[in-house]
Amino acid sequence: MSNPLRIVFMGTPGFALGVLQTLVEKRYCIVGVVTAPDKPAGRGLQLQSSDVAQYARSQNIPLAQPLLLKDPAFPEQLKAWDADLFVVVAFRMLPEVVWTLPRLGTFNLHASLLPQYRGAAPINWALMRGETTTGVTTFLIDHQIDTGNILLQESLSIAPDENVGSLHDRLMVLGADLVCRTIDTFASGTVKPVPQPQTGNLVGAPKINKEMCRIEWDNEPMQICNLIRGLSPYPAAFGLLQTSAPEPTPLKIFHALPIENRHCHPLGTIVSDGKSYLHVACRNGHVSLLEVQIAGKKRMSIKDLLLGFRSSDAFFV
């Protein structure tokens, strides 16, 4: 379908790319794209463009990559595009001088059912906390992060063994559809912003750091497996594996299953037959590791790991 509104799209990672591609394929009028500046990457530190930047260039869409969003030249560039509406997906916090520019305003797509899971990592945290339902929300941008009036929402069930990679992709598709529907309400004049509910038990979704990825074996089996799901495939949960080496080795864990049982093993003890399974003792049970990666090696099944690994001499700290 075609839509008469002139739209500027702002976003950087793959999640944003999926939405932008849908808008272009459905012939929405994208008059400009804003994304992060090219950054050095790889061993040669050559400049690399974001997914969104590469796609915008391939479609001959005007592109802006401001280093500083408060640079006075940035709003002037946006004004030249004469947009009716700004659409933001996985981008930086915009200054007021930017989000107030278009006549219809600026809205954001967020990968949660707001007001729950405000913040940078809503998909990760929904899985890490064992949620069974999540969704996507479009809302008007205001002065604070993820607090503006809600435009539309759509919920999605989370599969029991789903990880952040698969949930990300499903939410991206759902979010792209919601963005299209939201733009259509602006075009038809039927948009109805609603203030976010002011509930007392709000859960945030702060940015993930390395310390959050470390597995603490003094947790329940399901709690540990939810952490693994919520960080797989990236950045990946890890345990510190102590072998005969002086220092423990980080072992990334991508897939695991909880085993609730009674045992008398010290936390972090490895229980294995040496060829087909590897269980790690935790509080009130074990965690069965299924897919892992040792530093410097490829991701592998636990059976492949056990081919060259003496589990009897190792434990997790």
User: The domain containing residue 20 runs over which residues?
Assistant: 3-188
The reported pLDDT for the residue numbered 3 is: 64
Q: Do 124 and 15 share a structural domain?
A: yes
Residue 193 in any domain: the answer is no
pTM of the model: 0.94
49 and 38 in contact (C-beta within 8 Å)?
yes
Distance of CA 249 to the CA centre of its chain: 27
Same-domain check for residues 140 and 215: no
The answer to whether residues 220 and 285 touch, using CB atoms and an 8 Å cutoff, is yes
Same domain, yes or no: 81 and 176: yes
CATH number of the domain enclosing 243 = 3.10.25.10
What is the reported pLDDT for 4?
Answer: 87
Which stretches in the chain have pLDDT values below 50?
A: 1
pLDDT value of residue 1 = 45
The helix/strand/coil state of 49 is coil
Pair 180, 220 in one domain: no
Do 169 and 309 sit in the same domain of this protein? no
Q: Is 149 found in the same domain as 243? A: no
Question: What is the pairing mode between strands 46-48 and 3-11?
Answer: unpaired
Of 188, 220, 255, the one marking the end of a domain is 188
Give long-range contacts, CB 8 A cutoff, 24+ apart: 56-61: 56/20, 59/24, 61/24, 61/30, 61/31, 61/32, 61/33
Q: What is the CATH number of the domain that holds 156?
A: 3.40.50.12230
Number of domains present in the structure of the chain? 2
Q: Do 23 and 161 fall into the same domain?
A: yes
Q: Which tens digit of pLDDT belongs to each residue from 97-154?
A: 999 999 999 999 999 999 999 999 999 999 999 999 999 999 999 999 999 999 999 9
Structure confidence at residue 251 (pLDDT): 96
Secondary structure (3-state) at 119? coil
Q: Are residues 114 and 67 in the same domain?
A: yes
Last residue of a domain, one of 188, 222, 242: 188
Q: Do 25 and 132 fall within a single domain? A: yes
